[in-house]
């Protein structure tokens, strides 16, 4: 009887130990699964937070610019700064005709040419050319580089052509070869030729950029009437760094694809 009692005590102890061991194993499994679930939730939260951050940054960028930006090779150097504007309504500046003669002089011409003449043809490496929204051709004199120009310089070229067209009758040297279609046979002006194309391109460019600088009305002390006042300061792109970039990447040789050097666009 004593042996049976001892046996049962040992058996009960073993059963309790096995039961406790099973509970401990089950507890470990539950803890393991809970850890897995916790880590999975943590990972999902991190991924979701990252995705939300990207969306917020993109939305902020779109809100700041007002629209998506088209790729340009100079996008990394674009800066904005306040620029003092010349009040050409009341005061003369070197880009205007000589007030003494009413005609532009060589100083006027030089100032306009300096705005864009060195920057009309620019080269970029293939890595940047691959990112252009519209594919471009290699530079004829150096096929390892690709030919572009920044639109601002084309616009200045168009505007200068229109400026010269205003004085075609008074300034003989303005009658360049690419102005030949400004006149019809017999000497009459042609208002549908090259100048009209330049004028319309400027129209499109102005509408595209949509300058929303507010123009205030004030009493004009010189005109002695209320007039809209041209803004004294505007927030502009820093053209100095853009000019420097174009000079550093300028195509020095004439651009000739076999049809004669390019002199106009």
- Measured N-to-C along each axis, helices 151-166 and 239-248 cross at an angle, to the nearest 10 degrees, of 100
Q: What is the pLDDT of residue 243?
A: 95
pLDDT digits (tens, 9 = 90+) for 121-151: 999 999 999 999 999 999 999 999 999 999 9
CA dihedral defined by 179, 253, 147, 180, rounded to 10 degrees?
A: 10
Question: SS3 string of the chain?
Answer: CHHHHHHHHHHHHHHHHHHHHHHHHHHHHHHHHHHHHHHHHHHHHHHHHHHHHHHHHHHHHHHHHCCCCCCCCCCCCCCEEEEECCCCCCCCCCCCCECCCCECCHHHHHHHHHHHHHHCCEEECHHHHCCCCCCCCEECCEEEEEEECCHHHHHHHHHHHHHHHHCCCCCHHHCCHHHHHHECCCCCECCCCHHHHHHHHHHHHHHHHCCCCCCEEEEECCCCEEEEECCCEEEEECHHHHHHHHHHCECCCCCCCCCCCCCCC
Q: What is the pLDDT of residue 74?
A: 96
Strand partners of residue 219: 226
- For the question of whether the overall pTM of this predicted structure is more than 0.85, the answer is no
Q: First-to-last CA distance in the chain? A: 117
User: For residues 265 and 126, what is the distance between their CA atoms, to the nearest angstrom?
Assistant: 23
Q: What is the pLDDT of residue 56?
A: 47
pLDDT digits (tens, 9 = 90+) for 160-202: 888 888 887 777 777 655 566 677 777 677 777 777 888 999 9
User: For residues 9 and 17, what is the distance between their CA atoms, to the nearest angstrom?
Assistant: 12
Kindly list the averaged pLDDT for each block of 10 residues, start to end, along the chain of length 265: 50 54 60 67 64 49 59 95 87 88 88 86 96 96 95 93 80 65 71 82 95 91 88 93 95 86 63
User: For residues 161 and 198, what is the distance between their CA atoms, to the nearest angstrom?
Assistant: 7
User: For residues 29 and 31, what is the distance between their CA atoms, to the nearest angstrom?
Assistant: 5
Q: What is the pLDDT of residue 61?
A: 43
Please name which of 147, 151, 163 lies closest in space to residue 113, comparing C-alpha atoms.
Answer: 163
């Amino acid at each position: 009887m004593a042996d049976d009692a001892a046996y049962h005590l040992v058996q009960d102890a073993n059963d309790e130990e096995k039961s406790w061991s099973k509970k401990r194993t089950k507890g470990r499994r539950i803890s393991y699964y809970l850890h897995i679930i916790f880590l999975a939730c943590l990972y999902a939260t991190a991924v979701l937070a990252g995705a939300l951050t990207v969306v917020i940054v993109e939305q902020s960028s779109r809100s700041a610019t007002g629209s998506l930006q088209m790729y340009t090779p100079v996008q990394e150097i674009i800066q904005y700064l306040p620029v003092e504007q010349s009040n050409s309504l009341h005061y003369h500046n070197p880009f205007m005709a000589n007030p003494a003669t009413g005609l532009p002089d060589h100083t006027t011409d030089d100032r306009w040419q300096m705005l864009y003449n060195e920057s009309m043809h620019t080269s970029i490496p293939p890595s940047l050319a691959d990112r252009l929204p519209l594919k471009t051709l290699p530079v004829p004199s150096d096929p390892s580089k690709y030919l572009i120009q920044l639109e601002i310089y084309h616009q200045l070229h168009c505007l200068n052509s229109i400026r010269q067209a205003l004085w075609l009758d008074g300034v003989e040297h303005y009658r360049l070869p690419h102005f030949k279609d400004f006149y019809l046979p017999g000497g009459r002006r042609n208002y549908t030729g090259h100048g009209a194309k330049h004028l319309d391109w400027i129209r499109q460019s102005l509408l595209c950029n949509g300058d929303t600088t507010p123009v205030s009305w004030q009493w004009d002390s010189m005109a002695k009437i209320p007039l809209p006042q041209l803004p004294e300061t505007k927030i502009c792109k820093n053209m100095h760094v853009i000019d420097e970039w174009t000079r550093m990447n300028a195509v020095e040789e004439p651009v000739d694809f076999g049809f004669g050097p390019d002199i106009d666009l």
